[in-house]
Amino acid sequence: MTTVTNPILPGCYPDPSICRVGDDYYLVTSTFEYFPGLPIHHSRDLVSWTQIGSAIDREGQLDMAGVPSSGGLYAPTLRHHNGVFWIACTMVDSSDRSRGGNFLLTATDPAGPWSDPIWLEGGGIDPSLFFDDDGRMWVHGTRLVLDPPWHDQTEVWVRELDPQTMSFVGDEHILWNGALLGAVWAEAPHLYKIGDFYYLLTAEGGTDLHHAVSVARSEHVTGPYVGNRANPVLTHRNLGRTADIVGVGHADLVEAVDGSWWAVLLAMRPYGGYHYNLGRETFLVPVEWEDGWPIFAPGVGQVSPTLEVPGSAAVQLAPQAGPVGPDDPRWTSLRGPVTAFATPQGDGWRLALQPVTLAQRLTPTFLGVRQQHVDVDVTATIRPRTRLPHEHVGLVLRQSEGDHATVYVAPGPDGGMVVRAAHRRSGDETVLAETPLELSSDGTVTLMVRARGQEYSLAVETPSGTETLAVVDGRELDPVTVGGFLGLWMGVYATSNGQPSDATADVVTFDYRPGA
């Protein structure tokens, strides 16, 4: 038996989908506007997970330029059939509704390469895939009802897809509107054939406090489906906002090698009040079957902070801590590949200062990692080669293009260097503090973001020690306050703020270390 600490993927890894191939488990999550998109994780025991690739990882594969924060890649489903891995996903662009939609990706190796998107006709969100025993392939998803009896009522539909032509065949069937009257956003549908029944697993209630897991079954893939009288079969909404784990939903089932059943799902861990800066994370719960129905977290009925996984002697891997080198898969950029602005150099990067800023819906010079710990120290030793006041290089605590905090270095008005702390709120930026800076003998400076609960200190290393320029309230950066679906990212950035520049900066080292 191995004691597992939930979440199994801490930090912003929402909407998990899982499949097993032989002794191997594979898992994918949403990434929204971040790039590479749709990370693929691998495990042999449901306990220790390693990222092996990303499904969207090359220039030209998917255009996300202009996609606003919390847009982009939503709710992927990962499946395997006859030697081929499949992902179904939604591309959301609220700024241009003519772009995006549901698409499929395929690969023979889950580490990649993955195909270019194969776009599906029709609208809606949260597409999923089911391969029946007779080899037929069914696509299902969620969309808003055109003339709903209540606000935000959705319907789950299913239709057969010809995998040779990638086109729909036959009639569409409406399967579900939610387990409860008045249920909003019955979404994230997954179909399974288990024993004599087809099972439909859905989320409903919206992906926040009232999120829930419901299940229905039928003798036919196209229905009619009958809901479980125990619905919702898993939720924490009855526990309120003071619970340690909230927002439980968006589940996917997998049968383990030993015949046991498990579900991965998303949930949040609030702290400092009802705020979840780490975003929606991936959790694991056991599942048992009684009277032909799945029982989630049997005997407990809740997602536990720890649980026992039988038949595994593995030690759960904690989130990586320490130096983050150029080949670390945790690095992400925004809406496009890093090759546009960064080159690996030793243990770090050489960054080009682009006119694009963090406030724009493009691909700024930004490299970041998810915040995975409540208490954490992130430091970057930077060698700025800036000459003009509009050339900035520094660290950023990012929620969105409209909301982020920075500590950065820039040339000052007297020819020297300064370091500033700034906070951008709802699109308006305020400089919180400024101090003169003397670079070290090798031309470098070390900047820091230090998180202790909801206090984020923006600091710089000086010859006399660490100097804190400002402390930002993390509750002003989390999705509860500012909206959206994302947790926080911490990273390096550089910009010439709309002006042409040939300046560069070196990120000599970048270090992510949980706080003591």
- Would you tell me which CATH number, out of the four given (3.30.930.10, 2.60.120.200, 3.40.50.620, 2.70.98.30), belongs to the domain 322-514? 2.60.120.200
Of the residues 15, 252, 401, 403, which is catalytic?
A: 15
290 is catalytic: no
Phi and psi torsions of 479, nearest 5°: -65, -25
pLDDT tens by residue, 398-418: 999 999 999 999 999 888 999
Backbone region of residue 78 per phi and psi (left: phi > 0; alpha: psi in -120 to 50; beta: other values): beta
Q: Among 94-103, 204-213, 492-501, whose mean pLDDT is lowest?
A: 94-103
pLDDT in tens, 368-399: 999 999 999 999 999 999 999 999 999 999 99
> For residues 402 and 486, is the Cβ–Cβ distance under 8 A?
no
Q: Identify the weakest region by mean pLDDT among 1-5, 41-45, 89-93, 113-117.
A: 1-5
* Stronger pLDDT, 315 or 192, i.e. the higher one: 192
Over the stretch 35-44, which tens digit does the pLDDT of each residue have? 999 999 999 9
With a cut of 90, say whether residue 27 has pLDDT above it.
Answer: yes
Under the phi-then-psi rule, with left for phi > 0, alpha for psi from -120 to 50, and beta for the rest, what region is 400? beta
321 has a pLDDT exceeding 80:
no
**Ramachandran category for residue 53: left, alpha or beta (phi over 0 → left; psi -120 to 50 → alpha):** left
Q: How confident is the model at residue 322 (pLDDT cuts 50, 70, 90)?
A: confident
Average pLDDT over residues 148-175: 96
- Known active-site residue 288: no
Residue 99 pLDDT > 90, yes or no? no
**Which residue in the list 93, 155, 187, 204 is annotated as catalytic?**
187
Angstrom distance (rounded) from CA 364 to CA 491: 12
Mean pLDDT of all residues belonging to the chain: 95
Q: Indicate the CATH number for domain 2-309.
A: 2.115.10.20
Long-range contacts of 53-59 (CB under 8 A, 24+ apart): 53/110, 53/111, 53/112, 53/329, 54/112, 54/329, 55/28, 55/87, 55/105, 55/107, 55/112, 55/114, 56/31, 56/105, 56/114, 57/112, 57/113, 57/114, 57/337, 58/113, 58/337, 59/336, 59/337, 59/339
Question: Rounded distance, CA 151 to CA 184, Å?
Answer: 7
pLDDT of residue 121: 92
Q: For the chain, which residues make up each domain, given as ranges?
A: 2-309, 322-514
Is the entire prediction scored with pTM above 0.85? yes
Mean pLDDT of the 14-26 span: 98
Contact 351, 393 (CB under 8 A): yes
Q: Please provide the size of the chain in residues.
A: 516
The CA-based dihedral angle spanning residues 284, 288, 293, 295, taken in that order and rounded to the nearest 10 degrees: -50
Percent residues over pLDDT 90 in the chain: 92
Q: Report the pLDDT value the prediction gives residue 98, as an integer from 0 to 100.
A: 73
CA distance linking residue 454 with residue 244, whole number of Å:
16
pLDDT at 391: 97
**Nearest-CA neighbor of 337 among 363, 370, 356, 368?**
363
